[in-house]
Amino acid sequence: MPELPEVETIKNQLAPHLTGRTFKSIKIYDTRPLGNLSEKEFGRRLTGQKITGLSRCGKYILIHLSGGSALVVHLRMTGSLLWNPRSAEPFTRAEFFFENKGRLVFTDIRRFGTLSIVEDTCKIKDRLGIDPLDTCFTPQALQKLLSGRKSPVKAVLLEQELIAGIGNMYADEALFAARIHPAIPAQSLSTGEVKRLHKAIQDVLKKAIRNKGASVRNYRCPDGQAGRAHEEFCVAHRGGEPCPRCGTAIARAVIRQRGTYYCPSCQPV
């Protein structure tokens, strides 16, 4: 968290505000997100750069710069990007100021998020798998990714080097929609099940984007508002509640160290 729908929402909301703006100054309150880059070097490489556009790569936000490099933001578990917040934000790690006014604030409670400047964004794309909203993500492509993998299908969906962007809660939702038990081996899915799963993945993600992401914990859109995708979750984070399809209590299990929600009746082993 944030996962693909949240990152896509952030990118979509920030793009109209940031595109065409020039970095005037940067304030760093915590150098941990910068990795090995010093605060001085980070500021030097951004100041005076004009933003030419924003894009998303998996769960990464790429802010493209006029010099050819990009500011890459990974929000990890609790990071947020807020545009012109009206008041001081707790857990602020960095602030970006622009010419002609405007302020972008990076907050992160658990300090796992990262801010980096890269010269070649292809290096990020090369280490990630296929984007589930890309046109090349077809049922056949998904079948190929699952083939020969004995791991639970839920675990395979979370492997970012195979499919980039799907996180824990959306994997649960997609598997429920496809009526597939999260613990069955990925390679055991039939052609029909793979087709159902492919459709479910895209439907679940697109619906969540329309609802501006899920605010199950501390995620906020750049305008400070909460997302509403979680309000329509069927199983994710709903352990013990009745299944909206059959009424059976939603179960919770741990699969490869990840909390997993499913309906024992609708998703039989």
State the amino acid at position 28 in one-letter form.
I
Residues 122 and 144 in one domain: no
Last residue of a domain, one of 67, 93, 126: 126
Residues 95 and 145 in one domain: no
Per-residue pLDDT tens, the chain, 269 aa: give them.
799 999 999 999 999 999 999 999 999 999 999 999 999 999 999 999 999 999 999 999 999 999 999 999 999 999 999 999 999 999 999 999 999 899 999 999 999 999 999 999 999 999 999 999 999 999 999 999 999 999 999 999 999 999 999 999 999 999 999 999 999 999 999 999 999 999 999 999 999 999 999 999 889 999 999 999 999 999 999 999 999 999 999 999 999 999 999 999 999 98
269 occurs within a structural domain? no
Active-site residue flag, 59: yes
State the amino acid at position 175 in one-letter form.
L
Assign residue 231 a region: left if phi > 0, alpha if psi is -120 to 50, beta otherwise?
Answer: alpha
Residues 92 and 22 in one domain: yes
**pTM of structure:** 0.96
Give the CATH number of the domain where residue 80 resides.
Answer: 3.20.190.10
Residues 258 and 181 in one domain: yes
Q: How many domains does the chain have?
A: 2
Residues 180 and 216 in one domain: yes
Catalytic position from the list 103, 199, 258, 264 = 258
Residues 143 and 122 in one domain: no
Active-site residue flag, 3: yes
Active-site residue flag, 2: yes
**Domain encompassing residue 39:** 4-126
The pLDDT assigned to 218 comes to: 87
Active-site residue flag, 258: yes
Catalytic position from the list 59, 154, 196, 220 = 59
Last residue of a domain, one of 61, 92, 126: 126
Residues 13 and 122 in one domain: yes
Rounded to whole angstroms, the Cα distance separating 189 from 175 reads 12
Give the CATH number of the domain where residue 253 resides.
Answer: 1.10.8.50
Rounded to whole angstroms, the Cα distance separating 46 from 55 reads 18
145 membership: H or E segment, kind and range: helix 139-146
Residues 99 and 165 in one domain: no
Rounded to whole angstroms, the Cα distance separating 122 from 248 reads 46
Last residue of a domain, one of 126, 150, 172: 126
Rounded to whole angstroms, the Cα distance separating 28 from 229 reads 32
Residues 67 and 104 in one domain: yes
